[in-house]
Amino acid sequence: MKLVVGLGNPGSRYETTRHNVGFMAADLIGDEMDVSISQKFGKSLVAEAHYAGEKVVLAKPQCYMNRSGLAVKEIASYFNIEAEDMIIIHDDLDIDFGRLRVRTKGGHGGHRGIISVMETVGSEGFVRVKIGIGRAPGEMDPAEYVLSAFDAGEWDIMKETLQRACDAVLCLLTEDAETAMNRYNCGVLSDS
């Protein structure tokens, strides 16, 4: 059994912000599996699906980003899922806009959702699918930047990036992390 978690903040105010690309990617994965991540389960919205012969729990924590680990641990404990069977999808300021990076472990890079998951689950051994949102422009506060919406040009690129993130997760479920990293840890999508 696998647990796929998209990180974000709950509520319509945050729905289309950079910090919520994890939620957006999770919804695309749900579409691919023909399920809606809408069933209330503790601190999350979840859906259960089967994909390539594997049971998969898709989740979107409904607590704020810096408390995401509480929701992840609640699901993992209930379904008896170990860290190495978790895939966490999240935004990353340190990755160029429109780029993906699949990682099997590592540090948190200052991402408060990942910090919360690592502390609460007690492991860094989960797979991450990092969606690059790039650095805040000029003197803009990074906290303000991650809670801002995409402009039209950015959204065109991000839609493609989110689909690639979805494809990367499906690859992780059907093949392995090395294949996913080789296939998806490359190139920035752009108009040029």
Low-confidence ranges of the chain (pLDDT < 50): 189-192
The residue from 19, 50, 108, 111 that is catalytic is 19
Query: 72: closest CA among 143, 120, 10, 16?
Result: 120
How far lies 66's CA from each of 60, 63, 75, 137, in Å?
13, 8, 17, 23
Residue 191 has a pLDDT of: 39
- Where do runs of H (alpha helix) occur along 2-122? 21-32, 68-79, 112-121
What pTM value is reported for the model?
A: 0.94
19 is catalytic: yes
Residue 187 has a pLDDT of: 55
Distance, in Å, from the CA atom of 192 to the CA atom of 187, rounded to the nearest integer, reads 12
Encoded tokens for 112: 């408060």
**Cβ–Cβ < 8 Å for 30, 37:** yes
